[in-house]
Amino acid sequence: MLKIALPNKGRLSEEVRELFNDAGLEVRVRGERALTASLGGEFEAIFVRAQDIPEFVADGAADAGVTGWDLVCESGRELDLLMDLEFGKCRLVVAAREESGIQKLEDIQDGVRVASSFTRLTQEFFTKRGQRVTVVPVSGATEIAPHLGIADIIVDLTSTGSTLKMNGLREVGTVVQSSARLIARKGHEPEAAAKLEELRQALGSVLAARGKRYLMANVPRRVLPNVREVLPGLNGPTVVDVQGGDYVAVHAVVPAKSIYRTIAALKTLGCEGILVTRIERLMP
Ligand SMILES: Nc1ncnc2c1ncn2[C@@H]1O[C@H](COP(=O)(O)OP(=O)(O)OP(=O)(O)O)[C@@H](O)[C@H]1O
Ligand SMILES: O=P(O)(O)OC[C@H]1O[C@H](OP(=O)(O)OP(=O)(O)O)[C@H](O)[C@@H]1O
Ligand SMILES: [Mg+2]
């Protein structure tokens, strides 16, 4: 049984569970506060803090895990990156008070105090830039630090930017771009590595399917060349002869975000019976 460490709460936990459920690895939790769950068959989930996941995976307490890339970088542990899960997108940024006069990273003087819960990444970032700063460790609510006078600037996560704005802070540089990742310990035995590859493919097929739709339409035979241009599909659309008729049935996998435009273009060409469905999994 392979142990997969998943975030027990916070920003990533719900989307991780949804992804595993969609991949058929249903997270069957026994009660609200369960610490483990069966993932059906060969995997067992252990629920821990997102922050602890890189350590647990690197130390072998779990075989693989899902957590933020920012936390993986902060841990400094060597791990195999199996997949970018494309949610939990955020950036670890340097921010200063609006009225501080710090507009860009170059404006940061030696001796400046930087509050962050990402102490390692912060130190490394400024050291690499040749700027001597003092890192002030905090464990949360970093944005308040400049107002309390315990630091001059901060390094913290942002996605929409509204927390920075609300606290009168201006972003002046990026330390790390992050999103949720599937990680594993380095050097798994071949059997475990093969199972993890199956896991990676199962999750990947769900992610690939999310941005796509399956489209079917009845197409007048004479406009087929035009329809081929509208529907490039995965390997071009599948065209099924409707016997004896002037129409053919066309099936194609199309990008979800342009589906409205696709439908409009097909209608303009005289297509009928247009049907669009979600795809559960896609393995190109
Ligand atoms: N604003 C955000 N937008 C998108 N993703 C985010 C955002 N904030 C955090 N994340 C991602 O979610 C991960 C976990 O953050 P979360 O807030 O759930 O936990 P935490 O605050 O570190 O932990 P705890 O609440 O246990 O102290 C982060 O490491 C990051 O990858
Ligand atoms: O750019 P924004 O969209 O405003 O997001 C940024 C905020 O999100 C995270 O906190 P979170 O909401 O996870 O709360 P926490 O401080 O309890 O971790 C992060 O620490 C920022 O405070
Ligand atoms: Mg948080």
* Complex confidence, ipTM: 0.96
Ligand 2 pocket member 163 (CB < 6 A): yes
Instruction: Looking at the CA of residue 117, tell me the nearest atom of ligand 1.
Output: 22
Q: Ligand 2 centre and the CA of 47: distance in Å?
A: 21
* Bridge partner list, 249: 218, 240
State the Cα–Cα distance between residues 118 and 95, nearest whole angstrom.
14
Nearest CA to ligand 2 atom 18: 140
pLDDT tops 90 at residue 3 = yes
pLDDT tens, position by position, 103-116 = 999 999 999 999 99
Nearest CA to ligand 1 atom 15: 11
Q: What percent of the chain shows pLDDT beyond 90?
A: 82
Ligand 2 pocket member 93 (CB < 6 A): no
pLDDT tops 90 at residue 74 = yes
Q: What percent of the chain shows pLDDT beyond 70?
A: 96
Q: According to the model, what pLDDT value does residue 7 have?
A: 95
- For ligand 1, residues with CB inside 6 Å are 10-12, 49-51, 68, 70-71, 88-90, 140, 157, 159, 178
Q: According to the model, what pLDDT value does residue 33 have?
A: 66
Q: What phi and psi, each to the nearest 5 degrees, are found at residue 31?
A: 90, 160
State the Cα–Cα distance between residues 59 and 57, nearest whole angstrom.
5
Residue bearing tokens 């990273």: 105
pLDDT tops 70 at residue 168 = yes
pLDDT tops 70 at residue 19 = yes
Q: According to the model, what pLDDT value does residue 270 have?
A: 96
The mean pLDDT of the chain is 93
pLDDT tens, position by position, 208-254 = 999 999 999 999 999 999 998 888 765 677 888 887 789 999 999 99
Strand-strand pairing, 2-7 and 64-68: parallel
Q: Ligand 1 centre and the CA of 142: distance in Å?
A: 13
pLDDT tops 80 at residue 130 = yes
Q: Which of 14, 70, 157, 170 to mutate to test the pocket of ligand 2 (most atoms within 8 A of CB)?
A: 157
Q: According to the model, what pLDDT value does residue 32 have?
A: 64
DSSP codes of every residue in the chain: -EEEEEESSSTTHHHHHHHHHHTT---EESSTT-SEEE-STTEEEEEE-GGGHHHHHHHTSSSEEEEEHHHHHHHT---EEEEE---S-EEEEEEEEGGG---SGGGPPTT-EEEES-HHHHHHHHHHTT---EEEE-SS-GGGHHHHTS-SEEEEEESSSHHHHHTTEEEEEEEEEE-EEEEE-SS--HHHHHHHHHHHHHHHHHHHHHTEEEEEEEEEGGGHHHHHHH--TTTS-EEEE-TTSSEEEEEEEEEGGGHHHHHHHHHHTT-EEEEEEE-S----
